């Protein structure tokens, strides 16, 4: 039965920049998601998606990414803040799907070297998520001064993030379960 199927909540790492500290944040969130009962996850690194850049939108849909978005009940987007915005490649990847996202939950993890923890990139991503048909939750995770949160090999130096991620994931999972029921059972008509 649909209700007994595990939730699938992939984590999208939204940067291809060399030396990206967001990779450590994405690994941590994926690891914590993997500990949640009834949840399957996967880390999707946009740097590894073979999307062309001579076109855009659903015309460049990539089969494996599309299949994962179709299977997903919710998404986590881990995004660094570059010049107050998200990476162009993240937008390019997100725009390659549409129907795959409709009425699914999304939580955003902001990452920055400065003190604001990606709050501005999160605010910039919210209208994009809305237009894609995703339903945003009201918990975020903000990795401020990320170079002090992880050491170079990705070891977490500040355990307080575990509790913040736990609260974020609980809200995301609740929304994912609720929207799964809504998609399957509640009609517009």
Partner 1 sequence: MNHHCDKIVYNVDAHDAGKTDPSLGGFIEEFHTCPECGGGASRHA
| E-assigned strand segments in 32-185 | 39-40, 43-45, 74-80, 104-111, 134-136, 141-143
- Per-residue buried b or exposed e for 2-37, using 16+ beta carbons within 10 Å of the residue's own CB: eeeeebbbbbbbbbbeeebbbbbbbbbbbebbeebe
Q: Per rule CB under 8 A, is residue 59 in the interface with partner 1?
A: no
C-alpha 166 chain-centroid distance = 15
Least distance to partner 1, CB of residue 108, Å: 22
Least distance to partner 1, CB of residue 128, Å: 15
Q: Which stretch binds partner 1 (CB under 8 A): 19-27, 39-47, 79-87, 95-103?
A: 95-103
Q: Per rule CB under 8 A, is residue 184 in the interface with partner 1?
A: yes
Spatial separation of the C-alpha atoms in residues 174 and 27, rounded to whole Å: 22
Quick one: which of 103, 148, 167, 170 contacts partner 1 (CB under 8 A)?
103
Q: Per rule CB under 8 A, is residue 102 in the interface with partner 1?
A: yes
Is the Cβ–Cβ distance between 17 and 80 less than 8 Å?
yes
Quick one: which of 17, 84, 99, 130 contacts partner 1 (CB under 8 A)?
99
Q: Per rule CB under 8 A, is residue 140 in the interface with partner 1?
A: no
Q: Which residues bind partner 1 (CB under 8 A)?
A: 1-2, 5, 70, 73, 99-100, 102-103, 133, 180, 182-189
């Amino acid at each position: 039965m649909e209700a007994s199927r595990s939730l699938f909540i992939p984590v999208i790492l939204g940067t291809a920049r060399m030396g990206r500290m967001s990779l450590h944040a994405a690994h941590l969130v994926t690891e914590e998601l993997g500990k949640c009962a009834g949840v399957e996850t996967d880390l999707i690194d946009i740097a590894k998606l073979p999307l062309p850049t001579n076109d855009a939108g659903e015309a460049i849909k990539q089969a494996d990414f599309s299949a994962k978005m179709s299977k997903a009940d919710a998404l986590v987007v881990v995004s660094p803040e570059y010049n107050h915005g998200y990476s162009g490649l993240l937008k390019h990847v997100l725009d390659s799907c549409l129907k795959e996202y409709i009425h699914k939950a999304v939580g955003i993890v902001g990452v920055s070297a400065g003190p604001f923890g990606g709050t501005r990139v999160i605010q910039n991503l919210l209208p994009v998520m809305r237009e894609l048909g995703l339903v945003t939750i009201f918990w975020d995770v903000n990795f401020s001064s990320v170079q002090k949160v992880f050491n170079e090999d990705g070891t977490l130096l500040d355990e307080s993030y575990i509790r913040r991620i736990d609260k974020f994931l609980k809200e995301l999972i609740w929304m994912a379960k609720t929207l799964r029921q809504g998609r399957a059972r509640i009609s517009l008509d």
